[in-house]
Amino acid sequence: MRTKLFLLLFCNLTLSVFSQNLKLIDSLQKVAKFTKDDTSKSNLLNKISTIYLEFDLEKSLDFAKKSLILSEKLNYKKGKANAYFSIGSAYNYKAEHLEAIVWFKKSLAIRKELFLMSDVGQTYSSIGYCYEDMGNFLEAKKNYLASLKIREQLKDKIGIARSNTNIGNIYYQNQNLTEGLKYLLPALKVFEEAGEKRMIAAVSHNVGSIYMYQGKPEAMTFLQTALKINEEMGNRFWKTNNLGTMSELYRRQGNFVEAEKCLKIALIILEESGQKEGMVGTYILLSHLNMSQKKYNDASVNLNKALELATRSNSITKRQGCYASLAELEQEQGNYKKALDYFKLSVVLRDSVFSEENIKKMTQQQMQYDFDKKEALTKEAQERKDIIIQNEIQSQKNLRNGFIGGFILVLLAASLFFFQRNKINKEKKRSDQLLHLVEEKHKEITDSINYAERIQRSFIATNEMLAENLNDYFVFFKPKAIVSGDFYWASKLSNGNFVLAIADSTGHGVPGAIMSLLNITSLESAVKDGFTHPAEILNDTRKTIIERLKKDGSANGGKDGMDGSLISFDFKNNKFTYAAANNPVWIVRENGLLEFPYDKMPIGKHDKDSISFTQRTVELQKGDLVYSITDGMPDQFGGPKGKKFMYKQLKELFISIAYLPMQEQKEKLSTSLNNWRGNLEQVDDVTVVGIRI
């Protein structure tokens, strides 16, 4: 009874806004009725369509089509573009995304033809929304970047913030929460300064969602802000998003009553307006609540409803979410075969969206956009410089012509000359300052990275340390950038053994380098504490890394760390002991390659981080070649078909070059990598260490 009363009171809260919208529609319809068939009437019909978008999609679609018919009759191109856009918006809200894209592209073509660039930027964003909802993040980001480029050209501060919001959402959807916040929080500040309530609500909701997954207490504050604004504005569709996320937060807190209230309100609104897109997520959330309450039959019903709607909408991500939830449901009930079947379907769909290739392409899109933007700035600076030079030449011509005109114009010509020169000098000075600033910033960044590389190099194993303990060896170390997430480190243990680590830290470039310093100091700490067995050293290192990363602000600490192998050489007894995390250790012996097992877990936070690393001992023979690597070389794209180098090809290469001196082996590896890569970008840091016994 309390729940029903709450639903009634909640629905009444937005009744006044809803009534105001109906009154506005009624007024516009009366005006349209007595307006002759001209462009004004077309615009009125389209306006009515836009208002209906929030609570009656069929009527929204009907009025948009009436606007289109009238615009076609009048050959009113702008009206046609607006009607196409409204039709696309209605289909988008109905979760018929492919149909929506068709209409948006029709609108885009006309808006480009009419040079309505602000509208063009808006249309690219809407196309991006469709692809994002379908799970095609590659196409979504492509359209968002196209929108951002136009809005930057227009110097549209609000539009730029909108595009950055969309790009932030892509990172959020790809589970890169930190990068998503980098785009969303500055955009939110812009919207707050401009009083853009609708966008404040949208971004507040997304920030609240990220904070929820990060376990931050501010999550509910942001979600309630979004809900309050959407209630005030009568944005019923967006309100259902707020309610859905709030319900998930309540569920995580164990407050099932409040969670259920939120979802029931959301379903009432979605069913009334026919917004099937939102219903998919709401049914999934309701099923999660059912599972938390052990109501498995209810969970099954809700998930099958969600799957049916997701299949109709062509949304890969929503179908993937349904299959993942069905797998969880079957597992909780002990139906492990069904759970496995659903899990496999979920993985196939997830990999199609979050594949390495798609993530790489999205990264390339961002890099290309940043490069084009930098190139445009450089071109603009050069054009300004050229204008200054041309102005100076023209000034000299004016001076000459003044003297030819006669002595009587000397004073006038001189005045003009000094005026022009003063203006030119100011412009030239301003241009030089701009160029100097760009050069100074570039040098500052480069110097900082070079200095960071010097610091990082002081932490890794020195040539003196390696030469003192290894008779014959090579180190092939090729960072993707100046600094590296890969590293090789060595030390003498208290038992007299020589220990060597080859590792790949989370990330590359500057973030990876910072992580590598944490990893190295954690290894050094373990050795300093007297640990001598490789498994013990890795266990203690993992513990230190997890403890330190707990301070990163998230609820459970970051999941960063490293993959790597740690080898302890006992040259007196001709053997080595090792422990390895996701990294192989190989020996080439008598034209064959011996591959030793490793633990399939990282040195860092993981669901297996309470399990000890495995330690193994290997007897050595004279002439053995011990190799330890990171995954950079096997993962490099290249060759005639642009595929990965792969571990198999690397093993064959080691066998083929084993007879060569160690430095020549290093050169062969470098040549093979460069030939394979060709003109493609190096995808990761590369480290290979070879030791001849």
Place of tokens 């007894």: 573
Both 508 and 607 in a single domain?
yes
How far apart are the C-alpha atoms of 493 and 483, rounded to whole Å? 28
Both 450 and 476 in a single domain?
no
Q: What is the mean pLDDT of residues 682-690?
A: 93
Task: Give me the helix-helix angle, 137-153 and 117-134, nearest 10°.
Answer: 160
Both 482 and 629 in a single domain?
yes
Both 383 and 432 in a single domain?
yes
User: Domain end: 456, 488, 514, which one?
Assistant: 456
Domain tally for the chain?
2
**How many CA atoms are closer than 13 Å to the CA of 316, on its beta-carbon side?**
16
Domain range enclosing 408: 371-456
Q: Sign of torsion, CA 602 607 608 609?
A: positive
List, for residues 408-453, the tens digit of each pLDDT value.
Answer: 444 454 455 455 556 555 655 664 565 565 566 556 656 656 666 7
How far apart are the C-alpha atoms of 466 and 25, rounded to whole Å? 80
| Residue-level pLDDT at 397 | 55
For residue 376, pLDDT over 80 is answered with no
Which range of 38-47, 133-142, 197-206, 427-436 scores highest in mean pLDDT? It is: 197-206
578 pairs with which residues across the strands? Answer: 567, 616
For residue 5, pLDDT over 90 is answered with no
List, for residues 333-365, the tens digit of each pLDDT value.
Answer: 888 888 888 878 877 776 655 444 444 444 455
| Residue-level pLDDT at 490 | 95
**Helix (H/G/I), strand (E/B), else coil: 502:** strand
* Residue of higher predicted confidence among 37 and 394: 37
Both 569 and 540 in a single domain?
yes
**How many CA atoms are closer than 13 Å to the CA of 37, on its beta-carbon side?**
10
Of the candidates 366, 378, 509, the one whose C-alpha atom is nearest the C-alpha of residue 439 is 378
| Residue-level pLDDT at 516 | 87
List, for residues 570-584, the tens digit of each pLDDT value.
Answer: 999 999 999 999 999
For residue 63, pLDDT over 80 is answered with yes
Both 575 and 635 in a single domain?
yes
How far apart are the C-alpha atoms of 87 and 50, rounded to whole Å? 10
In a domain, 424, yes or no: yes
**Helix (H/G/I), strand (E/B), else coil: 603:** strand
Token couple for 676: 């394979």
Token couple for 535: 């498994």
Angle formed at CA 459 by CA 503 and CA 614, multiple of 5 degrees: 30
Of the candidates 228, 179, 232, 237, the one whose C-alpha atom is nearest the C-alpha of residue 204 is 228
Helix intervals (H) in 336-462: 336-353, 356-404, 410-459
Token couple for 321: 């979410």
**What CA dihedral angle connects 169, 173, 178 and 179, to 10 degrees?**
-60
Parallel, antiparallel, or unpaired: how do β-strands 486-492 and 472-478 relate?
A: unpaired
For residue 613, pLDDT over 80 is answered with yes
* Residue of higher predicted confidence among 28 and 657: 657
In a domain, 588, yes or no: yes
User: Domain end: 456, 476, 505, which one?
Assistant: 456
Task: Give me the helix-helix angle, 2-13 and 256-273, nearest 10°.
Answer: 50
How far apart are the C-alpha atoms of 42 and 449, rounded to whole Å? 58
Both 493 and 447 in a single domain?
no
**Mean pLDDT estimate for the chain:** 82
Burial class of residue 156, CB neighbours in 10 A (0-12, 13-18, 19+): middle
Give me the percent of the chain exceeding a pLDDT of 90: 43
Which range of 29-33, 421-425, 477-481 scores highest in mean pLDDT? It is: 477-481
Parallel, antiparallel, or unpaired: how do β-strands 616-619 and 603-604 relate?
A: unpaired
- 407 confidence band (pLDDT: 50, 70, 90): very low
**Helix (H/G/I), strand (E/B), else coil: 463:** helix
Both 505 and 420 in a single domain?
no
Both 426 and 466 in a single domain?
no
Q: Sign of torsion, CA 422 428 430 436?
A: negative
In a domain, 47, yes or no: no
**What CA dihedral angle connects 379, 385, 391 and 394, to 10 degrees?**
-90
Both 617 and 582 in a single domain?
yes
User: Domain end: 399, 429, 456, which one?
Assistant: 456
In a domain, 54, yes or no: no
How far apart are the C-alpha atoms of 617 and 307, rounded to whole Å? 52
In a domain, 564, yes or no: yes
Both 625 and 665 in a single domain?
yes
Q: For residue 513, give the CATH number of its domain.
A: 3.60.40.10
Q: What is the mean pLDDT of residues 177-206?
A: 92
| Residue-level pLDDT at 129 | 86
In a domain, 522, yes or no: yes
In a domain, 580, yes or no: yes
List, for residues 588-604, the tens digit of each pLDDT value.
Answer: 998 899 999 999 999 99
Count of beta carbons in the 10 Å neighbourhood of residue 478: 18
| Residue-level pLDDT at 434 | 53
Both 483 and 627 in a single domain?
yes
In a domain, 576, yes or no: yes
How far apart are the C-alpha atoms of 38 and 76, rounded to whole Å? 9
Ramachandran quadrant class, 661 (left: phi over 0; alpha: psi -120 to 50; beta: rest): beta
